[in-house]
């Protein structure tokens, strides 16, 4: 079951696509579909809630160990963000991840970036032109090409 709440991002189906990607990733790892996947939007926040049957983990054609499941859940936010960017050009910044296997619940948090966020941001401190020039009498370092 998929539920996407109304928000300013609901028209572009980012939540729906992210839910589909999460469903497919979980299915590949565990060998069966999740019980439910829901997407919730509010302003720039996107939450994906995954419900699964904890008794079904490790049952079936795939033997899923706890370590494999933990690693798979930890890798999913980055894979979801990459899939969204590749398919829509929108950026999702992965946030927190909360998993409770005993209850069969995983919650993935993302920040949905605006299309022009990279044009307004100079927060990349690894770019040489993002650092303000030094005010000392020494000449500023220049990057040789």
Domain harbouring 30, CATH code: 3.30.980
- Asked whether residue 121 is assigned to any structural domain, the reply reads no
- Order of strands across the sheet that contains 45-51: 36-42, 45-51, 105-113, 91-100
pTM for this structure?
Answer: 0.68
| Number of domains, the chain | 1
- Asked whether residue 34 is assigned to any structural domain, the reply reads yes
pLDDT tens-digit profile, the chain (145 residues): 444 444 444 445 889 999 999 999 999 888 889 999 999 988 889 999 999 988 877 655 555 666 778 888 999 999 999 999 999 888 999 999 999 988 999 999 999 876 544 444 445 545 555 445 545 455 555 565 5
Domain range for 31 is 10-116
- Asked whether residue 130 is assigned to any structural domain, the reply reads no
């Amino acid at each position: 079951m998929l539920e996407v709440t109304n928000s300013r991002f609901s028209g572009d189906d980012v939540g729906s696509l992210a839910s589909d990607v999460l469903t497919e990733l979980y299915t590949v790892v565990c060998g069966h579909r999740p019980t439910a996947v829901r997407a919730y939007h509010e302003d720039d926040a996107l939450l994906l809630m995954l419900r699964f049957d904890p008794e079904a983990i490790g049952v079936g054609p795939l033997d899923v160990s706890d370590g494999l499941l933990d690693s798979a859940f930890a890798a999913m936010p980055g894979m979801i963000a990459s899939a969204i960017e590749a398919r829509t050009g929108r950026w999702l910044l992965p946030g927190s991840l909360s998993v409770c296997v005993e209850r069969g619940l995983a919650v993935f948090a993302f920040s949905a970036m605006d299309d022009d966020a990279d044009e307004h941001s100079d927060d990349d401190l690894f770019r040489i032109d993002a650092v303000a020039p030094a005010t000392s009498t020494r000449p500023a370092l220049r990057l040789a090409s």
